[in-house]
Structure 1
Amino acid sequence: MAEREIKFKHAGPSLAFLEKEMEDKLGVPRTWQLPDLEHAYDGLEEIGQGPEYFSHIRKGEYFLDLGGPKTGYTGYYFTDICDDPDEVVDGKVTLYGPDIHEILPESTVPLGLHWKLYGRDVSHLHAEYLGRQVMTACMTTEGWMISGAAFDPWIRLSKKAAPKYKGFYQFAQLLRAYGRTTSPLLEKVEMVIVVGAPVVGGVVESAPSGVPKEAITEISGKLRKRQEIYDAWSKEMQDADVEIFYGCTLCKMIAPNHACVVAPSNVPFCGFASWSGMKTTYEVEPGGYIFACPRGELIDKDMSWYKGVDEEIWERSNHKYHHFFLNSTILYPATNCGCFEAASFYIPEVDGIGIVNRRYTGETPLGIPFSTLAGFMSGGEQNHGFKGLSVRNMMMRDLLRGDGGWN
């Protein structure tokens, strides 16, 4: 009983029935019940899943453009750890709005994905690990491209793969099958999918018009509050409290020389993980994409320059980068894969640092928009004067301390 009370204290009030409570704004849903675990992949024989299916889907190649800049990054993909088994119906998929083939090709729509997970031995400490498992499934499922972050989503479905899918429920089926078969801790997985009204293109005749953008934004705001509860717990520790940092190599599929190093004071720029979350992931799956990184000797406190981090990154970057300063944009910043929520950049005219969020579509003081800046920074390169950031990262007291930090 005590364990349940602790889990609820950290997880906060339940949002398991959030969409149900908002049906007056979302419209009438459609539901599917997926096969039991023994038959989890039934009906998916023509759809591939695995690292070889990771892909970029460019303009002219996508059947659907979900979230992203044209929608103002309206939407979310949120992993919700539920304490009560009655809150989750294993294999249930609920869809609000139009389905895949009810949307005209090359349309752009807002998208919300709410994954509800339950396991007797699963707590808020597993939220990041399980969220990463879901993201891995998304990234390695045939025909899908996923980027951005939990509250800045951008997903595309390719024209080539679209005919293989009968509907969003099969996408959900693949994610559940992957999650249940790779994470034995999970006992129940339910998905709620919210598809917005097209901002580009449209829907076929007689199809649902789509959920209003304002309703999706409202859901996103409520889920973000829950994320803030997770964040408050993870921000309690400081770098000096631990001897081991953790790193992530998940994005080496798109950036071969890239690896993230995460310390208690340094949340990675994708916003999907914290030190405590990575620690839990490593303990659950020590042979996976998370690695332990002894921090070693502290060389410079302001820069967060550690001998152990340098040694680890030298190996993880295929012997390309010698130094990683965890709290600097100007000198030896971390490499970037492309999933950052925001970016910091040096402005020589004022000898200062600028920060731009992915949602901002205007020009930065450098005379270029975020999209151009992101293209330059991505790919696993170390670009002095440029650094990826997450919104959670900006909340840390040591943010960019090597460049002066917060005033």
Structure 2
Amino acid sequence: MFEDIPVDVGVIYEGERIRRKQMYVELGGPHIKEKFELTRVRKPEEVEDEKIVIIGPDLKDLEEGKSYPFGILVEVSGPQLEKDLEAVIERRIHEYCNYIEGFMHLNQRYDIWLRLSKKSFEKGLNTFKYIGKVLIRLFKSELPIIEKMQVTFITDPEKIKEIYQEAMRIYEERDARARGLKDEEVDMFYGCTLCQSFAPSHVCVITPQRYSNCGAISWFDARAAARVDPKGPLFPIEKGECLDPVKGEFSGANEAVKKKSLGEVTRVWLYTAFGYPHTSCGCFEGVAFYIPEVDGFGIVHRGFRDVTVNGLPFSTLADSTAGGRQVDGFHGISIEYMRSPKFLQADGGYKRVVWMPKEVKERVKDFIPKELVDKIATEEDAKTIEELKAFLKEKGHPVVERWKEEAPLVPVEEEAVAAEELADFPVATVAELARTAGGHRTL
């Protein structure tokens, strides 16, 4: 099936990490603003089967060691295909790219991050044509409802900018469709294990009001995928008994998560960051992180390049919640989940959110209670915990009412003695704590 491809192709390569020193070139990623992957269902006459188009420089024409804007457009047709399947097909680009030896794909939609290894480039993987052939063959063999498929790879910055705007509009249309449906109105949730090659114990529970962590699959998308590919990574979950409507605990979700995680995770609370929070892989769009100094939550998204208000960057906070673990106070989330009435419901919702980047705030502004919009700080309002405290007090944020009396100041002499005593104890860095807790890092 892949005899004409210069590198191996198979499930064995899923989860392969390509470090910076091993990479030949990087496509998209955290340093590139505009990147995307998009799937469109077309009419049969609009798709030329197995056609592969490259707009801009090909792999062999890119400079080694550099990062480039990048876009993938997949166009498919078939009588059984429907618009609901676009997001599902799109999400599988992640899975099938990772089947290619020495080709790493992370994240989704406008957050994609790909790397080609030097080793695979030297073996001959020097054109997008090979990657296109692999994608077309895998998609058509595993999803026979795809009768015709063509793939376009884009590295031309101007063309990327043009299609990027269209992609963002399409993503928003998809997300908006699911907003009118409530969790209480359905008997079935859906699960996704697409990311288990990177986090074996992670199972995403997708409900009408809790989007997938990656932000790419809605309840409608998952339902469509489970119907057309019943043996695939997306599957139905009988909701079962509602054990706690506030925390979002359902007997059916517990059973499904326990089974699909092989017993690693036995309970999940869908609407909270504490107790048994929803697990995360590493493909989440953002992280909700608890800030004990103010008894509130900060939010940070993948595209935020500065440190957050607690002094930690997105990468460190992501380490604290990734890997399929349940960690109190750390919660991988999608941007669309922030638009849900169930968002951190058990923790107080937006009454408990105290800080987020301005970019995210603008994107979800219409879904934050009007009386709270100006009371949530951004990087322009507070860069430190002390500045955050002052801002929250000045604005009268509801979280201020939760604060306990400040502890009495410790005399300088006592503080010095305490410091000497603590000096005898080994101190781990945040990075070391993340490693020992099972986190992962891409350098």
Give the TM bin, normalised by the shorter chain. 0.7 to 0.9
Which amino acid is the alignment partner of residue 115 of structure 1? V
Say if 1:298 and 1:307, in contact at 8 Å, map to a contact too. Answer: yes
Map 1:63-74 to 2 at 5 A. 63-72=24-33, 74=34
* Partner residue in 2 for 1:32: none
Say if 1:341 and 1:390, in contact at 8 Å, map to a contact too. Answer: yes
CA distance in 2, matches of 1:255, 1:329: 19
Per-residue Cα deviation, 1:10-48 (whole angstroms, up to 9, x for no partner): xxxxxxxxxxxxxxxxxxxxxxxxxxxxxx74622x322
CA distance in 2, matches of 1:189, 1:56: 28
1:125 to 69, 74, 84: 84
CA drift at 1:138: 1.1
TM-score (norm 1): 0.82
> What are structure 2's unaligned runs of at least 5 residues?
351-368, 370-443
1:347 to 272, 276, 291: 291
* Partner residue in 1 for 2:59: 100
Map 1:274-289 to 2 at 5 A. 274-289=218-233
* Partner residue in 1 for 2:120: 161
Q: Bigger CA drift: 233-242 or 56-65?
A: 233-242
CA drift at 1:265: 0.8
1:310 to 238, 254, 262: 254
Pair 235,49 (structure 1): closer, same or farther in 2 beyond 3 Å: farther
1:195 to 155, 165, 171: 155
2:74 to 110, 115, 120: 115
Aligned residues: 349
Q: Bigger CA drift: 314-323 or 329-338?
A: 314-323
* Partner residue in 1 for 2:414: none
2:122 matches 1:178: no
CA distance in 1, matches of 2:140, 2:259: 33
CA distance in 2, matches of 1:287, 1:186: 16
Per-residue Cα deviation, 1:216-242 (whole angstroms, up to 9, x for no partner): 234212111122222222333211121
Which amino acid is the alignment partner of residue 59 of structure 1? R
CA distance in 1, matches of 2:126, 2:118: 14
2:189 matches 1:228: no
CA drift at 1:194: 1.2
* Partner residue in 2 for 1:264: 208
Say if 2:320 and 2:330, in contact at 8 Å, map to a contact too. Answer: no
2:20 matches 1:59: yes
* Partner residue in 1 for 2:421: none
CA drift at 1:94: 1.7
Aligned partner of residue 71 in structure 2, secondary structure: strand
CA distance in 2, matches of 1:337, 1:108: 24
* Partner residue in 1 for 2:441: none
Which amino acid is the alignment partner of residue 262 of structure 2? N
2:38 to 60, 67, 78: 78
Which amino acid is the alignment partner of residue 55 of structure 2? Y
Return the structure number with greater relative CO, CA threshold 8 A, min gap 6. Answer: 1
Aligned partner of residue 112 in structure 2, secondary structure: strand
2:196 matches 1:252: yes
1:89 to 24, 33, 48: 48
CA distance in 2, matches of 1:303, 1:328: 6
* Partner residue in 1 for 2:400: none
Say if 2:289 and 2:299, in contact at 8 Å, map to a contact too. Answer: yes
CA drift at 1:166: 3.8
Say if 2:289 and 2:317, in contact at 8 Å, map to a contact too. Answer: no
CA distance in 2, matches of 1:96, 1:191: 11
CA drift at 1:176: 0.8
Larger helix proportion of the pair: 2
* Partner residue in 1 for 2:275: 331
CA distance in 1, matches of 2:148, 2:168: 22
CA drift at 1:248: 1.1
Per-residue Cα deviation, 1:177-229 (whole angstroms, up to 9, x for no partner): 11112111112211121114xxxxxxxxxxxxxx34xx523421211112222
Say if 1:341 and 1:391, in contact at 8 Å, map to a contact too. Answer: yes
Aligned partner of residue 70 in structure 1, secondary structure: coil
Which amino acid is the alignment partner of residue 168 of structure 1? F
Q: Which has the larger radius of gyration?
A: 2
Aligned partner of residue 52 in structure 2, secondary structure: strand
Which amino acid is the alignment partner of residue 64 of structure 1? V
Pair 171,122 (structure 1): closer, same or farther in 2 beyond 3 Å: same
Which amino acid is the alignment partner of residue 72 of structure 2? L
* Partner residue in 2 for 1:13: none
How big is the alpha-carbon RMSD for the aligned residues of Structure 1 and Structure 2? 1.7
TM-score (norm 2): 0.75
Aligned partner of residue 71 in structure 1, secondary structure: coil
4+ residue segments displaced more than 3 Å: none
CA distance in 2, matches of 1:237, 1:142: 41
Per-residue Cα deviation, 1:87-135 (whole angstroms, up to 9, x for no partner): 2222222212211111121111111111111112211121233223333
CA drift at 1:145: 0.8
* Partner residue in 1 for 2:106: 147
CA drift at 1:172: 0.8
CA drift at 1:153: 1.1
Say if 2:189 and 2:219, in contact at 8 Å, map to a contact too. Answer: yes
CA distance in 1, matches of 2:263, 2:301: 31
Aligned partner of residue 324 in structure 1, secondary structure: coil
Aligned partner of residue 333 in structure 1, secondary structure: coil
1:368 to 301, 306, 312: 312
CA drift at 1:323: 2.1
